[in-house]
Amino acid sequence: MQKVVTTIGQPGVAIAAITKQPQDFVLTHIEGRDSPLLNGVSIGPAPIPLKHGDRLELAGTQMQFEQSGISGADTEDGGGR
């Protein structure tokens, strides 16, 4: 991601933002009745750090967060949460 803040979702249904911070990225629910799901769990109102391999679901669309230069092999569980 090149921008500091990238919004995803569908206006009027659900919108979330992925924000680049100095050392990581965070996911924040911006608007909509239902919060995004991160690895199958609702994130609530607070920003949540993203890890390589995390699975996001928003407004019925599933996606996976991938960070360049990061391999799932460098974590105990192979990535994700």
Q: Residue written as tokens 């974590």?
A: 75
Q: Which amino acid is at 53?
A: G
Q: CATH class for domain 5-74?
A: mainly beta
Cα gap 11→45, rounded to integer Å: 18
Spell out a b/e string for 25-49, using b for 16 or more CB atoms within 10 Å of the CB, else e: bebbbeebeebbebeeeebeeebbe
Cβ atoms of 55 and 64 within 8 Å: the answer is yes
Q: Residue 42's pLDDT is what? A: 94
**Mean pLDDT score of the chain, rounded to an integer?**
86
Under the banding of pLDDT at 50, 70 and 90, the label for residue 3 is confident
Cβ atoms of 29 and 45 within 8 Å: the answer is yes
Name the residue ranges covered by the structural domains of the chain: 5-74
